[in-house]
Amino acid sequence: MECILSSMFHRTAAAVLMLFAAQDRYTELCQEAAALSQQGKYETAIQRYRTALAIRPGAPEALNNLAVMYYQTRRYSEAFEIASHLWPQHPELKSAALIAGMSAVQINKPQSAIAPLEKLIAEDPANRDAVLALASARMALGDLPAAATTYEKRAAEVPTDSDVWYGLALCYEQMAEQASRELSKTPGGSGLSKRLAAEYLQSVGDEKLAAEAFGQSAAATSNSEQAQKVYEAARELASKSRHAFEQFVQLAPDSWQAALFLGDVHRQHGDLTAALASYKKAAEQQPNIAAPLLGMGTVYWELGQFDRAAVYLKDTLRLNPKAMQATFELGNIAVREHRDREAIPLLTRYLDAQPDALAARADLGRAYMHLGRYEAAIGELSKAAANDEQGEVHYELSMALRKVGRKQEADAALEQSRQIKAAELDRQQRLHTPH
């Protein structure tokens, strides 16, 4: 019996010693990983944390730090997988909630970002990363007023935070665009919509077109109180967006975002050479960001240099498949080059996101025309005809109608085309006649 007890004692002692040795090794691995992360050696730190977790599976501190390392190496899905399960069970690990929220934004799951970030901010209102991530998540969800409120609060507390002003500028810009679209659909809003366009033309220095647009807006003046409120909202939001962008450029003049903003300003003013230079500067600073590439592609598209435009637009979609402007411009180029089977899915995808984009409907109608699908062409061109300023859409509509034997409607569309072209020719002559 004594031998049996002695043997059991020695086995127990050995097990205890092994347990302590494993605990020491776990601590040692975590310490090594922490030191490696401070040196920026994140991949090696990841290996250490994984080895430590093999010793103590589910250890919250090691899991938390591993999620942080995954985030640092842009392995956002892996960071989210760990942190999203960890933060509800371990509220004391604030960085778990932060990583859960920030990685959710990065992998386009903004709804999953809200709860951990709101909880973290409730406990730590000054947490800058959490505030910016929450605002980004709300923007991604389309809750622009809530996003603006989040940014505004941070801007009031820390007015020197350039990233806040940049986010706020984008938020206001999207809200202004929404208000502008709403105005164009509001009863009595057509004149005020033209006034908004006139103010924009005046801001970019095109005095003749601005004067004409102001004249058109006056002719279409309405007393609609609802339209007036939407107009004032759109105007105020546009002004706020410009102010926020200016604040941002003052605070971060050498940033890629400032170069991008200046590229947009130059392009709006028609200085395409300066716009290209600014977009190129932004792209050199941030080669993995889609926006500067979209800017360059759009400039070349506006210049009619479609081969060069397509290179940048395709790169834009590679980095951001949801870049709808690039989708439209590539579809437009494909129609111009009679690559209509390629154009149709691009334009259809764009119109799924922007159903009121009549220029895209005109292009889709042209693509169907080229392929002999005349009924489909008539459907798209009929919708696009509401925005026909050159007479070309009505002319193409008349051709499609004639192809299916609807001669009377074709003649009416052709006559409308002639009238629009005559009015446009008269307008151009007046614009270019010195006063």
Model pLDDT for residues 58-73, shown as the tens digit of each residue: 999 999 999 999 999 9
119: number of Cβ within 10 Å? 18
Q: What DSSP string runs through 335-390?
A: HHTT-HHHHHHHHHHHHHH-TT-HHHHHHHHHHHHHTT-HHHHHHHHHHHGGG-SS
- Record the pTM: 0.74
Mean pLDDT by 10 residues, the chain (435 residues): 46 44 77 90 92 91 93 94 95 93 94 96 94 95 95 95 94 90 74 66 56 56 75 88 92 93 88 95 94 97 96 96 96 97 97 92 96 96 89 94 95 93 79 61
CATH fold of 31-141:
1.25.40
Question: Taking a C-beta distance cutoff of 8 angstroms, is the pair 65, 30 a contact?
Answer: yes
* Spatial distance between the Cα atoms of 205 and 265, rounded to a whole number of angstroms: 12
The CA-to-CA distance between both ends of the chain, in Å, stands at: 120
Model pLDDT for residues 134-156, shown as the tens digit of each residue: 999 999 999 999 999 999 999 99
Q: What is the pLDDT of residue 226?
A: 83
Question: Taking a C-beta distance cutoff of 8 angstroms, is the pair 63, 50 a contact?
Answer: no
Q: What is the pLDDT of residue 21?
A: 52
Inter-axis angle of helices 358-370 and 374-384, nearest 10: 160
* Spatial distance between the Cα atoms of 321 and 408, rounded to a whole number of angstroms: 44
Q: What is the pLDDT of residue 181?
A: 81
Question: Taking a C-beta distance cutoff of 8 angstroms, is the pair 399, 371 a contact?
Answer: no
Q: Domain locations in the chain?
A: 31-141, 143-253
